[in-house]
Amino acid sequence: MLKRQRPGASENDWHKLDNAGKMYPFIRSDWQTTLFRLTAVMKTNVDPVKLKGAVMKAFSQFPQFNVVLKPGLFWYYFQKTKNEPDVQLDEHYPCTQYERRLSVSPIHVYFKEKEIAIEFSHALTDGYGASAFLRAVLIAYLQDSSLNDNLGKTQIVCCSEANREDSYLENYDPSVPGLKRSGRAFHLPYKAVPPGIYFSTTGTVPLDKLLNKAKADGVTITVWLTAFYISVMAEMIQDFNWKAHPVVINVPVNLRPLYNSDTLRNFFVTIMPQIDCRLGHFSFEEILTHVKNYMSLEVDKRYINQQFKRNIDIESNFAVRLIPLPLKRLIFPSLYYHFGERQYSGGFSNLGAFRLPEEINSEVKEVHILVPPSSGNLIKVGCISYNNNFSITFGSLAHEKELERRFFSGLRKQGLPVRLSVNY
């Protein structure tokens, strides 16, 4: 909800959605809200008044986030708003408060006991931009809390023009050949729960132990966990005698280091490591080797530029541009499933390390990420680390919890202690 107007805001300040963000407003639904959540578990109970002040301060540092979504003739766009953000008690399932009306903020802020949770529309930003905003909110909140004399020295870094660029367009090369479409992947044979429900299962693992495990196998944490996720799903196909299609995991890659970009808008592509269970049994070691080799090859600017080429060519196609927005709303959801979620079995997103200044680091106990719910892939995984806590959260639109149970019990069998928390 948006409240009274803030003086001094320009009504004419607007900008286009980036290339990745353009699709999300069209596919929004009661199940597929396109919202993802970052949660900070604080050391003490949250003061909502101070939190509201911290959010307003963060928006002043991130003016491109203080917007509302508006429909144009052919595409949606963001317009700067004079409305103040609302801070609400967290009393619903996460990532489910889908707003049918427009002119609402793409950022929702919640609190409950010791938790600060912020939900972001993927139309606005990705995990990197969301982390930067949450960090700004926490710094401002803890400064206002006057917890120690050093907090006043911590400053929030302002956004620059480089933070606002559409890095897809900046790095687009029209001479690169496009990508071919993949085939159908395996999907868990589950039914979606009713709208308004989104289950989360979080396992927290000691970061040092997980890192040692991955290093012992000569891979990164992302490669190790992706391979482990594939192996669990492949095991379920065999044990339940499900019809086998390739097990394909959609893994987002943050492109900022690769392209020297500082944008806070979406800037990622996805790569899709896979195994084909129709070919026979694969051991975990075999899957691990395959995923390692695949990801080392695919995270290459030459191949990533092909994704830019395909996606931007679709957006700039004259016929596509001429389709009126109401007709796009009817067509794009089925295209998104057919050319997107149909091609993978689940998602695995590792946001990496979330860091705060040393002066306030101990005031936050844990940080979690919950990826957006998806009607095309009912179960997805998001990871983030804070200090020595590595958080792995399954977001699910299915009642069945066999995948989560096997995944976390499997980690324990690998010698990794897991502390579980659920919202069901």
172 in a domain, yes or no?
A: no
SS3 of 364-383: the string is EEEEEEECCCCCCCCEEEEE
Conformation bin of residue 190: beta by default, left when phi > 0, alpha when psi is -120 to 50: beta
Fill in the DSSP letter of residue 83.
B
pTM here? 0.91
* Residue 57 forms part of a structural domain: yes
Q: Is residue 36 part of a domain?
A: yes
Q: Domain for residue 9, yes or no?
A: no
Domain housing 390: 199-422
What distance in Å separates the CA atoms of residue 399 and residue 396, rounded to the nearest whole number?
8
323 three-class SS: coil
CA distance 237 to 252: 24
The CATH number of residue 21's host domain is 3.30.559.10
154 shares a domain with 93: yes
Residue 316 inside a domain? The answer is yes
Three-state SS for 181? Answer: coil
Q: 210 and 157 in one domain? A: no
Give, as one character, the DSSP assignment of residue 33. -
Query: Could you tell me if residue 230 is inside a domain?
Result: yes
- How far are the Cα atoms of 47, 107, 115, 143 from residue 118, in angstroms, in the given order? 15, 7, 10, 19
Q: Is residue 173 part of a domain?
A: no
State how beta strands 346-353 and 379-386 pair: parallel
For residue 386, the SS3 value is strand
pLDDT score, position 309: 87
Domain count along the chain: 2
For CA atoms 309, 331, 188, 207, the dihedral sign is positive
Q: Could you tell me the mean pLDDT of each successive run of 10 residues in the chain, 424 residues long?
A: 41 82 92 95 96 95 93 93 89 86 82 97 96 96 65 50 75 76 85 95 98 97 98 96 93 95 94 94 96 95 90 88 93 86 93 95 97 94 98 97 98 97 96
Same domain, 338 and 387: yes
Q: Which residues contact 373 (CB under 8 A, 6 or more apart)?
A: 31, 32, 33, 35, 95, 96, 198, 395, 397
User: Do 333 and 251 share a domain, yes or no?
Assistant: yes
Amino acid at 344: Y
The pair of structure tokens assigned to 357 is 């200044």
Is 391 within 8 Å of 185 (Cβ atoms)? no
309 occurs within a structural domain? yes
* Strand blocks (E) in 115-157: 115-121
Give the model's pLDDT for residue 148: 47
Q: Give the H or E element holding residue 192.
A: none
Provide the pLDDT for residue 183.
76
